[in-house]
Each structure stands twice: as C-alpha cells, then as structure tokens.
Amino acid sequence: MTNPRYSSMSWMRKLGRALSGEAEDRDDLVQLMRQALSRGLIDADALQMLEGVLTVSDLQVRDIMVPRAQMVAVHRDDSPDKLLPVIVESGHSRFPVIDDDRDDVVGILLAKDVLRLSAIDRETEFDIRECMRPAVVVPESKRVNVLLKEFRRNRNHMAIVVDEYGGVSGLVTIEDALEEIVGEIDDEFDVEDDQYIRKESERQFVVRGGTPIADFNEYFGTTLSEEEFDTVAGLVMKQFGRLPRRSETIIISDIEFRVLRADRRRVDAFKVVPPVDITPIEERGGGD
C-alpha cells in the first residue's frame, strides 16, 4: 500500500517542479493545484488565491478600473462645507482632485486630512492645495500584477488611469487589484451573512445583491416585480441592461439604488435610498 506521506511529498515535488517552470502550460499548473485541493493539501480559499495570482498577469488596468463617469471627484476650489458631504456620502477614503474638468486631475485628497483639519480649527482658512497628494498616473494597458508591485513599492493606494491620448479613463485602487486575487474584501458597507438589509442612517440602507425581492418588498412595503427575477441584483441588472459597475445609480419605482460593491460577475451590495413615503418594516412596528 502506498505510504500517504510519501504520496503527498511526491505530489509536492511535482508542484514544485511545475512552479519552477517545468509545467508544459498554465492548464497543467492549474490542474496540479486542483489535485492538491482534492488531496486536502490546500483548501478552497488557497486555490482561489493561487488561481487569482495567475489571472492578474493576464488582466490589464482597464479590466478592473472604476470608469471616469463613476469617479467620485472633488474640485480644487471646494470648501470644507462642500467636501464633507461628498466624503460622508461616498464612504471613500481617497478622491481625485480636478481643476477645469475630469481630464485635469491635479492631485489626490485623503478624507482623513480634511476631517483632521476640520476637527482642529474650523476658523482657519482651508486650502485644499496644502493637503493634496500627488496623483499617480498609469496607462489602461498596464498589467495588474505590475501595478500591484508599483503600489507596494511606492506605498500608493490609488492611481489615475489614462488612455493612449492622455485623457482620463478612470481610477484604480489597490483594493481593486487585491480583490482579483483574494476575492472581495469586506468593508463597512458589507452586510453580515445572516441578514440581507441593514439600516445605515435615516433613509439610507445597505442591501445585499442576493436579497430576495419578496424580502425587499416585505421590508420596505414595496411592490417590486418578482415575475422575471428572484433577487434585487437581478432586477437592477435588468434595468441597466448589463452588469453595472461600482458607484452607478439607477431609480426603480422612485427608489434609488447605488452600486456599492460589484465585480465582473455579480453585484454584491447596494446603497438604497427609498422615498419619504416608503416606511421600512421596523418603522411600521413589524421589526424584531
């Protein structure tokens, strides 16, 4: 009978040779990693990350960037009174600073810098130029694995993406790149696995894409159609006619849906703002 320890060591030697360049092609390497999963040598999360590492070398920045139209930007001449609502509403930590238009990005503003200045002394005249960081610019065609190395080496978290003519195409963050390897990274917008809808503030809710439309209707007292789709994500994608990207917004039955999290396969979460005449279930006295 084959010694299990010897068998595992033999398989690991094969994988080692494959990683050293002896695998005939990438399919052979992926197959070896999947064999490792079946043998219990790695778990499903590790396999996903290993496959993600292989994938990022094929991806270009244009594949993962936030498009120009969906960038949340601030203007160089904005006052704190204009900046703070944008920071709070978007939930982002970094913002492109523009001058004349979105092709004229003059720097990157960190939310913490604005909040710090506002908290220290509201009487001091605010000048956004004093806390702006230089904007890193990368071409659409840059490979994602190269971008990750540059982010790590230069300690940057955001870059402005430009096309072949120098026009701004969008932006990309280190989180966008890392999620291609490790999957979605939880943040303050994520809803726990055991709930579909979470109230964030007055008239603002975070709703998971997989929320059944029936549950959404029950929670908000609405009558969204369940004829074609079972989930909120399916209904929203139908209205867009495609898979929407992060920060895109659409109105359905007077309810605003803004995409908080999405990848190339699905929409994970929305920010939902119902009209004032819609009363959520806890306000109707039907909550737990």
pLDDT in tens, 118-132: 655 555 667 788 788
Instruction: Look at 264 and 55; give whichever has higher pLDDT.
Output: 55
pLDDT of residue 47 exceeding 90, the answer is no
Give the pLDDT band of residue 81 (cuts 50, 70, 90). Answer: confident
Separation between Cα atoms, residue 32 and residue 46, nearest integer Å: 13
Q: Does some domain include residue 50?
A: no
Distance, in Å, from the CA atom of 104 to the CA atom of 99, rounded to the nearest integer, reads 6
Report residue 241: phi and psi, to 5°. Answer: 80, 10
Tokens of 63: 């594949």
Per the structure block, which two tokens stand in for 226?
């369940």
Q: What is the CATH number of the domain that holds 168?
A: 3.10.580.10
Which CATH number goes with the domain that contains 220? 3.30.465.10
Mean pLDDT of 254-278: 84
Query: For the chain, what is the domain count?
Result: 3
Is there a domain that residue 237 lies in?
yes
**Distance between CA atoms of residues 269 and 253, nearest Å:** 19
Rounded-to-integer distance, Cα 96 and Cα 73, Å: 5
- pLDDT confidence of 6, banded at 50, 70, 90? very low
Query: Could you read off the pLDDT of 177-212 as tens digits, one per residue?
Result: 887 777 665 554 444 555 789 888 778 899 998 899
Please determine, for residue 136, whether its predicted confidence score (pLDDT) is greater than 50.
yes
Sign of CA dihedral 140, 143, 144, 146: negative
3-state helix, strand, coil in the chain (%, to 5): 40, 20, 40
Q: For residues 132 and 238, state if they share a domain.
A: no
Q: Quick count: other Cβ atoms within 10 Å of Cβ 94?
A: 16
* 249-256: average pLDDT: 93
Kindly tell me if the per-residue pLDDT of 108 is higher than 80: yes
Asked whether residue 8 is assigned to any structural domain, the reply reads yes
Q: Which domain holds residue 30?
A: 4-42
